[in-house]
Amino acid sequence: MIEAAQRILDLLTYIEQVEKLKSKPAFSVPKDYFVAYQQDLRGLPEIKLNIQDGDDDVWLRVPRLQEISAPDVGDSLKAWVLLPKSPEKTPEVLPECVTYEGKREIGREQLVDHPEIKELFDWYIENQWKPWSTAEQPRRRTIARYNQMFALQQAISSEGAETPLELVWGIGYATWKKPGFSTTLQHPLILQSCEITLNEANFDLEVRPRDIAPRLEAECYTEMELPGVQQLDAFWKSSLETGVYRPNPFEPSTFDGVLKAAVGHLDPSGAYEALTIGDAPSPPSETLKITDAWVLFGRKRSGDIFLEDIRRLKKNIAEAPVLPNAICSFVEHGESTVRARPEKPFRGLSSSGSPAGAFELYFPMAYNDEQVSIIQKLESNDGVVVQGPPGTGKTHTIANVICHYLAQGKRVLVTAKAESALAVLQEKLPARIRPLSVALLSDERDGMKQFEHSIETIATSVASINPQRAESAIAEAEQKLNQLHAKIAHVDSTVAAFASKHMCSYQFQGKNVSPEDMAKLVMAEADEHEWFDDMPPATLGGKLLFDDGDISALRRARLQVGKDLEYLQSSLPVLDDFPSWDILMGLHRDLVKTRTIENNVAGGSIFALTDSRVETLEKAQGLLRFINERHALRSNLISANEHWIDPLVPV
């Protein structure tokens, strides 16, 4: 294990050095994607800097403005004036005016013949065009900046796999044309990675610092072979570890200490300059000059984050007492022979047969044998490689695998080269499982919102759980699951039994034939035997329970009685044996009344009898006769109307 850990550390060191060789130090701010200096953005209308939105720091907000058209020249000047769309170009008055009717020219007038046109034009320029142009020019610059930043935001969000971009805020703009060094330095010293988001409510573009540590851009000074780079780097790291520096480009106190230290370590003749708002840094000279100016620009994503991850990984490996087998397998020699590893069986699969000790498979969506094979291989291997062209169900498979391991209480990390793949995968998860997933995308605010939503959803679910009720529901679900597995096993066994019958050979007319051959023979001779539409009994030992004589007798019987074959050996009663019509009508009325009572009982309009035996019904009839006799006696006593009878009348 120690040898494997050392091999991994050596491999990571090699990767780190290769990545450093691939990166070249930046001496100037790249202009390929987007760049905006401090003096370019300050003073533009509607642009806001350093906004505190609750606990959220917004360093830049650029609104989506609409162009305002130039003032209308009026009907008198419309035919004489050429009106440009840009506020930086002045309108022109034409030397002549040509009027048309359709495409046919019907008139032509000269400007010299209309001095009033020149007066109206001059008045329009002075009182309408110039005020509009003065106000619209900075607005157009804001619109141009918005369009540039919008293009960058779209490029970052789409994230081209080959050239991913990032937006950085450079603080401490440095200039230097060092004697004896051919490249001129024009680059900020401190870089803070930022995120740019589109506010969907009002379509403003907002730039925020990302929740990662700022970086000291000192590679260019290392390239100049300056001896003070190491001391400056040590000062920077100590400042970050103590938490003293969280640079804000609008608060010089958060970064000027580092800039002054940089001047002292890098160039004894250098100087640190605090510029007045709106001033531009001075051009490069033979001495290092670092100002408090800032610049916002886009560039290809650097490998700094990747290198930092490698450093943290090396530290964790050096401190880890035991390394996972999956990590060690990267540097250990593989086995010389290929051996099949036992695969764990899962319940509910026709291939597993649900043996004792089978595991549960938690796939919420449809699956096939290939997806089950992935889970089986993951149970006994450190990794599985799954390949497939687009549209073959890889995302569907990953979603099932995620749900399977989440159901076991495990954690799952999913990485992808592009954010769109993670977004599609998250949407693929079932709705009840989706709150358990958090997508950490380039938009950190959105990632935090997802994380908070997941925590709130889980906390709400946990708070509403009744332990006893939950245990009862789990037990009921497990029982139902066992029943479903039993049904599946029964269906599998039934299908297997049918399959075995169709795979066996049978003796027919002295030959061994397959069920397929017998079916073909039946279809070929269907016309000869279609008269026999009865269901024959099951065979006994592969032999029928009847012979040709039985078939002939059955055919004669069918010709004799037709469809009433069941009455073949029955004797019908004679007419005198039937009851009279009065009795039959009484029976009919009783049957109809009985059916009516049954319907009323079924509908709930009357209650059903709890005891319908003949003895009980006879006693009920006797009770009815007694009640009728008592009712008649009481009526006779009341009708007598004698006072001496009153005490005798039953109540």
Q: 428-463: per-residue pLDDT in tens?
A: 999 888 888 877 765 666 677 777 877 888 888 888
Which string of DSSP letters, residue by residue, matches 76-122? HHHTTEE--SSTTS--EE-SEEEEEETTEEEEEEEGGG-HHHHHHHH
The beta-carbon contacts of 91-97 under 8 Å, at least 24 apart in sequence, are: 91/121, 91/124, 91/125, 91/129, 93/117, 93/118, 93/121
Do 511 and 520 meet the contact criterion of CB atoms below 8 Å apart?
no
pLDDT value at residue 594: 86
pLDDT at residue 161, as a whole number:
43
Any bridge partners for residue 77, and if so which?
Answer: none
The chain-wide mean pLDDT, for the chain, equals 84
| CA gap 33, 167 in Å, rounded | 10
Q: What is residue 319's predicted lDDT score, i.e. its pLDDT?
A: 85
How wide is the angle at C-alpha 199 spanned by C-alphas 196 and 202, nearest 5°? 140
Give the whole-angstrom CA distance, residue 273 versus residue 270: 10
CB 185 within 8 A of CB 178: yes
Q: How far apart are CA 290 and CA 281, in angstroms?
A: 9
Q: What is the pTM of this model?
A: 0.59
How many Å apart are CA 271 and CA 263, to the nearest integer?
6
Who's near 134: CB < 8 A, 6+ residues apart?
A: none
> What pLDDT is attached to residue 426?
87
For residue 459, give the amino acid letter.
Answer: A
3-state secondary structure of 295: strand
Length of the chain, in residues: 651
Instruction: State the pLDDT at residue 1.
Output: 58
CB 168 within 8 A of CB 194: yes
Q: Beta strands of 238-366 (E only): which ranges?
A: 271-273, 289-291, 294-300
Segments of the chain with pLDDT less than 50: 160-162, 352
Fill in the amino acid letter for 430: P
Q: Which residues pair with 190 in a beta bridge?
A: 171, 216
CA atoms of 93 and 120, how far apart (whole Å): 11
